[in-house]
Structure 1
Amino acid sequence: MVTIMNDSCQNTGDLRVYQHLVYAIVYTVILVPGLLANILALWVFTIYIRETKKAVVFMMNLAVADLMQVLSLPLRIYYYLNNSWPFGHALCLICFYLKYVNMYASIYFLVCVSVRRCELIMRPLRYNGSRQKVDVVICIVGWLFVCLGCLVFPLLRNTEIDDTVVTSQVSATTPEGVCFSELPMQKINGSIAWVILILGELLGFIIPLTLVLACTCLTAGSLRKRTSRAIPDLGEKRRALRMVLSCTVVFLVCFAPYHISMPLDFLAKANTLSSCTLRDLIQRCHPFALFLASLNCSLDPIMYYFTTYEFRRRLSKPDIPDLII
């Protein structure tokens, strides 16, 4: 996200008002359905985790990542509605950091869900109880990798905010400090910045998207094959294909726009674009890309319902409470 432009561009205040309004609206829209849907998803997953091997461990972690993202929204909504952050700089950095952790954790577990569903179709006999334990290890490693990788985002922000700089950069209506996208950036070498951008795009989007697309192609191809190694049930294959296709759609709808606009947004904030009109356009479009990236926390539970038979079966069963025991 970006709100601060070069002093030569005189519409900083208007842009800030526009961005705050957009963020407040879209986060409010996401908050309630995302909260209820992910709590319900976690409840259902705990019921049938012992009954299925269809990537439920990964879907549970995906729901946790989505729920954590939703729980951070009230503070963001408060900030964008009140144009101030009275909760301290440390909490601001934590919320700022968790936003990226939850987004990239969602990407990681979407890939895991796609790979596991594809593997269960292509090589169903390889999955057993020990394999499920491996899934737990994969989840732990994934969280560690994402948490360490996302440290770069708060580290690129100044740990101390100079009030004189803030006053000159943003509206005077922020007496208690700025947060999130308006935190001032550290001054870093241009080459280092490009390395960070390229690594972020590769590891955070391009490679995961490639894996999801490959799983989609392999799963679709399995519908035309009839071998002893593959699951013979065409209905099961079709359900697996719907799941993997759903992961692909979430990637393309939610994460592709953000990862296209993020480098442009960075260039605008770094004042490397000479055109104020272009910078203004990029920074007015970027909030909608971020909205789509945040929307995945509400779309994932819809994906569970329409692509996971057990999920629908448990929601429709009248004796769910008895199964919890």
Structure 2
Amino acid sequence: SPQHEHVTNVLDYTLNLINQSLLRVTCPGTVSEWDWLHTMQPGYILAISVLGILGNVFVLLVFCLHKKACTVAEIYLSNLAAADLLLVSCLPFWAVNVANGFNWPFGPLLCRLVNVGIKMNAYCSIYFLVLVSVDRYVALVHTMSHGRMRRPSYAKLGCLLVWGFGLLLGTPTMLFREVKWFPDFEVTACFLDYPSPKMELVFNMTLIVFGFAIPVSVISYCTCQIIQALKNQAMERFNTEHTERKATLLVLSVLLAFLLCWVPFHLVTALDVLLRAADISGCNLSNILDICNQVFTYLAFFNSVLNPVLYVIVGKNFRKKVMEVFEQLSMRKKMATGSQRSQLSSTLKTLA
């Protein structure tokens, strides 16, 4: 069904499937197989959006309101929270789209902007994790040189470059996204319409290489080195700074959650691109890939809700920051109340 595949295409590398689905005959029996998934989509997307917005806004407020400047790792994690917030802020538009029978009601500009935001999250999230993995690798494996390399100014510059890179790779979405009426299916779809199949294949391969293969390779190498360094230090009874170890445990938890949520999504996408490049098709195969794309897309979205939970459960430093922020706010409130009382008292004395 073209409508079923339209939701599968929430991310740009799968969004081009709708163009093919509009031109081919629906596989027999697919509607009943998809019904169970589509009944839960709007509610699931909205739940992810609400929880993700609350969680990531909370994380950003803690980092911003805390009186001490953020460490290098915290700069990266706060930018990761911002990327997650960008994603979950875009998802309600898709929830409305699904509930509206897959007719896009928000116009062409939001069609482009919402999907650029989703695409940027796909790229920026993984590259912020690359940065934080490299930071932990330098801090634990190359401890002698980390003072020169791990500076907040360098971290902020790295984050700025990641945002720019994500925006650059989201350019095709901005250029080729369209809202178009399909009279045969009575659907006004927001979809990605590449000028040619060759360009579509190039951009899909770009996503797989730059959005998955390269960053995951770097993350995997750094993670292996970090774990080995922690084991060696434990065997040698060599104590790293306590804060470094706690930060590393949080980073490893975030990396594990990211890989569990996103790797199935990228693997199915890579398989889909390879099969289409080899011109291998079939009703059963297409239906299985579409359902897997659907499920793994929403599993990937769940990662944006999971990260703030991990900060609270695993991040001892983060929990300490939360308590200190509440203490700061409480002190400010007491000082403001005391100031108001002092002003009132002086006013009464003047009147007397």
TM-score (norm 1): 0.82
| Residue of structure 1 aligned with 2:205, choices 198, 203, 228 | 198
Q: 1:253 to 1:36 in 2, by over 3 A?
A: same
Alignment CA distance shift 1:307-1:277 (3 Å) = same
Aligned counterpart, 1:151: 171
Deviations 1:9-33 (A, max 9, x none): 3457667766643432321231221
The question of 1:188 aligning with 2:171 is answered no
Q: Counterparts of 1:56-75 in structure 2 under 5 Å?
A: 56-75=74-93
1:256 is the counterpart of 2:272 = no
How many Å apart are 1:278 and its aligned residue? 1.0
Measure the CA separation in 2 of the matches of 1:122 and 1:74.
42
- Measured after TM superposition, the shift of residue 266 of structure 1 is 4.9
The equivalent of 1:7 in structure 2 is 24
Q: Deviations over 1:106-129 (max 9, x none)?
A: 111122122212222234563369
Shift in alpha-carbon separation, 1:241–1:152, aligned structure 2, 3 A:
same
Determine the structure 1 residue equivalent to 2:252.
245
Alignment of structure 1 residues 202-241 onto 2, 5 Å: 202-225=209-232, 232-233=239-240, 235-236=242-243, 238-241=245-248
Tell me the residue number matched to 1:113: 132
Whether contact under 8 Å (1:223, 1:234) holds in the other structure is no
CA distance in 1, matches of 2:174, 2:271: 19
Question: What is the rounded CA distance, in whole Å, between the counterparts of 1:120 and 1:323 in structure 2?
Answer: 35
| Percentage of identical aligned residues | 26
- Aligned mate of 1:294, from 277, 297, 301: 301
SS at match of 1:178: strand
1: CA distance between counterparts of 2:275 and 2:332?
A: 52
Q: Which has the larger radius of gyration?
A: 2
Higher alpha-carbon deviation: 120-129 or 72-81? 120-129
- Tell me the CA shift for residue 64 of structure 1: 0.8
Q: For 1:259 and 1:323, how far apart are their aligned partners in 2?
A: 48
State the Cα distance separating 1:237 from its structure 2 match: 5.4
CA contact (8 A) 2:77 2:128 kept: yes
Distance 1:129 1:248 in 2: 22
SS at match of 1:89: helix
User: Is 1:142–2:162 an aligned residue pair?
Assistant: yes
Match of 1:85 among 88, 104, 125: 104
Q: 1:311 and 1:197 mapped to 2: Cα distance?
A: 37
Q: Deviation of residue 207 (structure 1)?
A: 1.4
1:80 match: secondary structure: helix
Runs of 5+ consecutive residues of structure 1 not aligned to the other structure: none
Q: Which residue of 2 aligns with 1:127?
A: 147
Conserved 8 A contact 1:103-1:293:
no
Corresponding position: 1:178 with 2:189:
yes
**1:251 and 1:92 mapped to 2: Cα distance?**
27
For residues 257 and 56 of structure 1, the distance between their equivalents in structure 2, rounded to whole angstroms, comes to: 27
Instruction: Tell me which of the two structures has the higher relative contact order, counting C-alpha pairs closer than 8 angstroms and 6 or more residues apart.
Output: 1
Partners of 2:332 and 2:299 lie apart in 1 by 35
**Distance in 2, Cα, partners of 1:178 & 1:193:** 18
User: In structure 2, do the counterparts of structure 1 residues 117 and 269 end up closer, same or farther at CA, with 3 Å as the change threshold?
Assistant: same
| Distance (Å, rounded) in 2 between the aligned partners of 1:250 and 1:311 | 18
Per the normalisation by structure 2, the TM-score is 0.76
Q: CA deviation at 1:154?
A: 4.2
Paired position in structure 2 for 1:281: 288
Give the 3 Å change call, closer, same or farther, for CA 199–186 of structure 1 in structure 2. Answer: closer
Quote the residue 2:48 is aligned against.
30
Q: Does 1:102 align with 2:121?
A: yes
- Is 113-122 or 237-246 further displaced after alignment? 237-246
Would you say how many aligned residue pairs link Structure 1 and Structure 2? 310
2:72–2:152 CA contact under 8 A, matched in 1: no
Which protein is richer in helix relative to its size? 2
Q: Structure 2: which 5+ runs fail to align?
A: 1-8, 10-16, 334-352
**Which residue in 2 is equivalent to 1:304?**
311
Distance in 1 between residues matched to 2:226 and 2:277, nearest whole Å? 43
Backbone CA RMSD of aligned residues: 3.2
- State yes or no: 1:314 paired with 2:325: no
Match of 2:313, as an amino acid? F
SS of the residue corresponding to residue 86 of structure 1 reads coil
Measured in 2, the distance between the counterparts of 1:323 and 1:215 equals 42
Judging changes above 3 Å, is the alpha-carbon distance between structure 1 residues 284 and 256 closer, same or farther for their aligned structure 2 residues? same
Q: Measure the CA separation in 1 of the matches of 2:55 and 2:94.
A: 20
